[in-house]
Structure 1
Amino acid sequence: MRAWVVRAGENGQREHAALEEGVLLVGWHELGDLSDVPTREDIKAAVAAAYPDEGPYTVGNWTGQLYRFVHEIQPGDFVVLPLKSWRVAVGRVTGGYEHQAESADGPRHIRRVEWLVKDIDRQSIQPDLLDSMGSLLTVFELSRFAAAERIAALAEGKPDPGRPDADEFAASLTEPVKLYEEVRRRAADEPLTLSIRDFLAVWGVQRRYPAAVEQIKNDLDERGLVTVPPFTEGSIDSKIAVLAGGAEPDASGASAVTRFTDTSVVSDMIAGVYDSLQRLLGRDGGEPETETQTVAYRVSNLESANRMPEFVRVGAGLKTAMTLMVLRGYSQLPVLDEDGRLRGVVSWESIGRAHLADPRASLEAATVRGQEADRSDDLLDWIGTIQQSGFVLVRDHDHKVCGMITASDLTVQFGIRVRPFVLVEEIEQRLRRVVDQRIPLDRIRAVVPARRASRVNSAANLTFGAYGHLLKVPENWAAIGWAIDQEYFLAALEECRQFRNSLMHFSPDPVTDDQLLPAQGLLELLRSMDPQN
């Protein structure tokens, strides 16, 4: 049993038909019937022919989604449909792929589904599962954190049971003082370890904004604590240890941090800990690095950099590599030695070149040099390489491969990062237009300080916060003419203002759908009141 997300269009335009007819619907209307298109390469050829203006990345991405929809999704699998209402529908797939050449809205690619529940409140879904649903793809699998079993529970009307490996103890650390007490209680060889996500939750925050980072660092410094690696590095689900870094040395003259360095816990529990410890101790020849200095967008901030890719071992047959690449739809595979270190990469291009020289070429002959990024590298330094070659391998502190970043990963990350800004920009544009159309300039100028009033020529010169002051005035609210509750609207506007301000501060952690919900709701309200494009 597997679980999938199949969206009803970028803006949910196929949502009503999907729920009413009991089907999953995807776009790509220029494509014909895919029932007799058996392989991924065949689908790729069909996509390329139907959309000749699209580049290799887009064709490959669309191919993967269509292959999943046509061949990988099976009857009995669960499917999730995110709704425009910010609720969620869950169903069970009941049939195979179908193509409807004639329908009211044109050709359609469909799968039959029995909707088991159509109105699940997102509040009943744990943040990690909501995050997994946040991909911008139309068709993708929910495969992490026992997603299928959790979706099955939601389908039965039960709340999300959460991750089976969830750290119940971490959940009990509901305030900083409890964290301090637990660190003090533990011996140096049994450090407190938890995910960065759970660590931030102790302070009631979900993302590493500069203000939150500064507060947490000050609290740790005050208590003589340190996190290893720094909590500002790695993905939000990376593990860290919390140590009594300021405690006096033990009988051997060693600090808690040094004692931790000398234990096997370093290599066994936390990837990248050793390198971080060296920086903290100043052993790399430079100044000890503080946590506020390490706020940057590292390679390790991408989830794929911390997920071991599929690979072949040195000495395997070339047929093995080719078979795996076809089965998984990969363009390349890393070749690793017995210690997990990179010995090269095999790709369709390198295989083709090797076969031109020798039709019986071995894996070794088809293996070419692969580029490796360190987990602690600045991601920006590698974007050009990833764009040019399509991927880069990631290594840990032992120089073992621990992940791979592809151009697709960058594209998804870009979409996740840009979406909140686009949403807020549309809110501002709609407010500006309505205010300019319906409120005289003299009343717009009245909400700004007198010394600035002469420089205000339209609503475009207002700050976001000024709209709240402007629309509090009864005369201005009446001029807008909206038949909605003023108090609720102004509260939503203020919440959006705070969200917008937080976006202006760097954080290596993505904004989740749940965090976007208030701004998305305000935008939907504005679209309803002002339906112009």
Structure 2
Amino acid sequence: MRAWVVRAGENGERERAALEEGVLVVGWDRLAMGDLADAVTRDDIKAAVAAAYPDEGPYTIGNWTGQLHRFVHEIQPGDLVVLPLKSLRVAVGRVTGAYEYRAGAAEGMRHVRRVEWLVTDIDRQQIQTDLLDSMGSLLTVFEISRFGAAERVAALADGKPDPGRPDADEFAASLTEPAKLYEEVRRRGAEEPLTLSVRDFLAIWGVQRRYPASTEQIKNELEARGLVTVPPFTEGTLDSRIAVLAGGAEPDESGTSAVTRLSSSLVLDTIRDLSAGIAADVARWTAPGSGPAGLGAHLPDEEAETQAVAYRVSNLDSANRMPECVRVGDSLGTATTLMVLRGYSQLPVLDEDGRLRGVVSWESIGRARMADPNAGLQAATVRGQEADGSDDLLDWIGAIQQFGYVIVRDHDHKVCGLITASDLTVQFGTRVRPFVLVEEIEQRLRRVVDRCIPLERIRATVPRGRAAQVHSAANLTFGAYKHLLKVPENWAALGWGIDQDHFLAALDECRNFRNALMHFSPDPMTDDQLIPAQGLLELLRSVDPQI
């Protein structure tokens, strides 16, 4: 059994029909083939999508092809499906039928799968953050498989709370405040380092994302206590694991620190088992003259600042997920079989140590076979694009756009991930979404204020010295709207039949959300964190329905 998310349109426009008719439904009605049941292979679907949408680029065509292939062929009867609702609740159902094409249905309602809805009003508070994050993709059709997702969705379908990830760190959950973390590191000593995920580490401070202010606070508190994290908690994704060490402790009889001893002890092997890549980071950060930036080490200030704000290649989940690959010595048939089965355009070719020796792609295979019809894997292997996980992601966007991918290596130069153009599309789509929500909220506020409230009363909201600079609501700060609409005369002028106190409270909550959004963080906003903006926007759309 697998679990999937199938959205009911970008703005939930197909939601009601999906629930009432017991179907999963996707768009793409311009497909010339109409009925995709005859599209046996992924290439059949790709050809249909490219013909229907000739103005779209290869990355969009590939992305849409993947989603439709999942909907038509990969989703199976008996699988569970999650439908996020506009009410910010969640529905869960069980797929009961194969793909159908309904030629006579309304536009946007023709490609369907039958589903039995098991529950349609799950409160998001019953779902833990990591599973909500997995559901947060902007794709219409995608699988959720990490952290025991299928079993957890099954529990939700039975009316039970989310049981949490099967590998959840119960001990980390007990570290509810910094003082408990400090005590635990002290109790364990240097021979038994404390390891936990970045997500669990941040939760000790009640933080979900690595904003500069919270990152600086944590770094200062660790430094004051003489603690370090290896690797720095500012690197990697929220699910990357780190070790917390007493880096400021006195040297032992041999004259070495706990961190340096760690690099040459058996404990290093323990850390390697707990988290791939940590061992390499220990060696990297304990080399002479180096150390974790800003955590009691001696890096220059400007380098420490870079660690806090740069957006790294390793911040993408796919950069930390081992890709499908072939090994030197495998046959070309092995590579082509995997590429067809998985729908890949290329595969990394690795040596016995897990280091990149090149890439095999459909293009390289074609060129090799043109020169020699019997060419093998070695002849079809070409040089690949390879980035270090600590590289600035922005430096690689051009290469990913040009070649469609980049292979990611760790500090041991072993392959640890692969980023495609589709990964970038999803990642930056996720990051753009909060800004789009806030922008529409501000646009709607400006329009209704300019339409209903005279300019002199708008100017009365700002200090007298700035009043002459205000020519419309566009000159107001977001926080000024609360003060403006708190005035009874101004509120009455809107003519809205909603509760003023609740609206102003929502406006202030959205102001805090907006302010947080303006501060850089390498971590994406979760669906829960978007709720204040989404709720306020839905309310504004209701009271001011003009487009």
Q: TM-score normalised to the size of structure 2? A: 0.95
Aligned to 1:388: 402
Paired residues for 1:292-331 under 5 Å: 292-295=305-308, 296-331=310-345
**Shift of residue 103, structure 1, vs aligned partner:** 1.8
User: What does residue 515 of structure 2 align with?
Assistant: 501
Tell me which of 384, 388, 393 is aligned to 1:374. Answer: 388
- Structure 1 match to 2:245: 243
How many residues align structurally?
533
Q: Distance between the aligned counterparts of 2:134 and 2:483, measured in 1?
A: 38
Which deviates more from structure 2 when the two are superposed, residues 300-309 or residues 473-482?
Answer: 473-482
Amino acid of the residue matched to residue 162 of structure 1? Answer: G
Change in Cα spacing, 1:378 to 1:84, as seen in structure 2 (3 Å) is: same
Instruction: Report the secondary structure of 2:520's partner residue.
Output: coil
Q: In the superposition, relative to structure 1, how do residues 180 and 23 fare at CA in structure 2: closer, same or farther (>3 Å)?
A: same
Q: List aligned pairs for 1:329-344, cutoff 5 A.
A: 329-344=343-358
User: What corresponds to 1:288 in structure 2?
Assistant: 299
- 2:29 match: 29
Q: Structure 2: how far apart are the matches of 1:514 and 1:209?
A: 17
Contact 2:319 2:417 in 1 (8 A): yes
Moved more, 267-276 or 103-112: 267-276
Equivalent residue, structure 1, for 2:528: 514
1:281, 1:288 within 8 Å by CA — same for their partners in 2?
no
Aligned: 1:20 with 2:20: yes
Contact 1:101 1:107 in 2 (8 A): no
Q: What CA deviation, in whole Å up to 9, does each residue of 1:387-408 have, x standing for no partner? A: 1111111111111100011111
Give the match for residue 133 of structure 1.
135
User: Residue type matched to 1:513 in 2?
Assistant: D
Match of 1:480 among 466, 475, 494: 494
Shift in alpha-carbon separation, 1:496–1:106, aligned structure 2, 3 A: closer
Give the aligned partner of residue 2 of structure 1.
2
Distance change in 2, residues 1:428/1:40 (3 Å): same
Give the unaligned 5+ runs of structure 2. Answer: 292-297
So what's the TM-score if we normalise by structure 1? Answer: 0.98
The CA deviation at 1:523 is: 0.4
How far apart, in 1, do the equivalents of 2:186 and 2:522 lie?
Answer: 30
Within 5 Å, give how 1:42-441 maps onto structure 2: 42-105=44-107, 108-263=110-265, 264-265=268-269, 266-273=271-278, 276-277=281-282, 280-281=285-286, 283=288, 288=299, 292-295=305-308, 296-441=310-455
Structure-2 change in CA distance of 1:474 and 1:279 (3 Å): farther
User: For 2:468, which of 445, 451, 454 is the aligned residue?
Assistant: 454
Offset at 1:274?
Answer: 5.3
CA distance in 1, matches of 2:78, 2:358: 40
Distance 1:214 1:377 in 2: 21
Give the C-alpha shift of residue 107 in structure 1: 6.1
Instruction: Kindly state the Cα deviation for residue 280 of structure 1 after the two structures are TM-superposed.
Output: 4.5
Aligned 8 A contact 2:198 2:238 in 1: yes
Unpaired runs of at least 5, structure 1: none
- Take 2:496 and 2:117, find their aligned partners in 1: how far apart are those partners? 36
What is the CA–CA distance in structure 1 between the aligned matches of 2:285 and 2:329, rounded to whole Å? 40
Q: 2:44, 2:289 → 1: CA distance?
A: 53
Deviation at 1:121, TM superposition (A): 0.5
For the structure 1 residues 106 and 233, does the alpha-carbon distance in structure 2 shift closer, same or farther, using more than 3 Å as the test? closer
In the alignment, the residues of structure 2 paired with residue 273 and residue 284 of structure 1 have an alpha-carbon distance, to the nearest angstrom, of 19
* Runs of 4 or more consecutive aligned structure 1 residues displaced over 3 Å after TM superposition: 104-107, 265-282, 284-287, 289-293
Q: CA deviation at 1:267?
A: 3.7
- 3-state SS, counterpart of residue 464 of structure 1: coil
- Whether contact under 8 Å (2:231, 2:281) holds in the other structure is yes
Structure 2 distance, partners of 1:279, 1:425, is: 43
CA contact (8 A) 1:309 1:402 kept: yes
Deviations along 1:455-499, one digit per CA (max 9) or x if unpaired, are 101110000000011111111111111111111111110110011
**How big is the shift at 1:219?**
1.1
Summarize the Cα distance change of 1:276–1:292 in structure 2 as closer, same or farther, 3 Å threshold. farther
Q: Is the 8 A contact 2:355 2:414 kept in 1?
A: yes
Q: Aligned partner of 1:453: which letter?
A: A
AA aligned opposite 2:30: E
- Distance in 2, matches of 1:129 and 1:160, equals 9
Mapped contact 2:199–2:208 kept (Cα < 8 A) = yes
Structure 2 counterpart of 1:526: 540
| CA-based RMSD | 1.5
Q: Read off the aligned partner of 1:374 and give its amino acid letter.
A: D
| Partner residue in 2 for 1:465 | 479
Give the superposition deviation at 1:268. Answer: 3.6
